[in-house]
Structure 1
Amino acid sequence: MIIAGTIEFGLHGYAGAQTSAIAVRAGVSQPNVYANFASKRELFLACIGELPLVVEELAPGGQLEEQHALLLFQAVAAVREPALSPELGELLRELRSSLGAARFSDALSGAAAILLR
């Protein structure tokens, strides 16, 4: 479900992603999503929470894969959502620190370009 959530949230953002679409993409029923995550918010934060692991595995100077860059972009877009703000802000600060300001910015620019295709 994390992979499916990463893709759906990356493409549609927090507000636009639907747990029903995540369930279809994951090949499970929608109740199965809620059996594993109490809310869409928890699933979104769990997907974002995987990004530090992805960053750790990057080769020096490596680029985020498309789905991860898109998710990062959508996380930045959602950081002002009151329900997400505290945890999401902290995760994004950690990611920016891990990637470095230039790579963080490059990932966001790349994701914006993907969304504008």
Structure 2
Amino acid sequence: MINDQSHDEVMAAIFRKDPAYAAELLDSIIEEGAQGELLIAVRQMTKAFGGVAEIAERANLNRSQLYRTLSEQGNPEIRTLSAILKSMGLRLAVKPLDSGQLPA
């Protein structure tokens, strides 16, 4: 049987099934500093947690703003990213580096 689901749809299903995995993945992407990957993951999570219209409403953003924010050219402000994540039951957090990662 051929799988007709896109990669984004498959990832959205995984995130719906395991929101803790979604949080761990975002955390690792943020740690690596890969903004493009972060936006891809948040786009996939948007599908998983209700779709653009629902996430935009919960985050107090309009749909076009959310589409622009999550586009390949998107560069979300921290407050926008925080609002989007909060609408999914997540939040940004700061934590100390492991002692082996501390700058000299």
Q: What TM-score, normalized by structure 1, do the two folds share?
A: 0.29
Which has the bigger relative contact order, CA under 8 A and spacing at least 6?
1
Larger Rg: 2
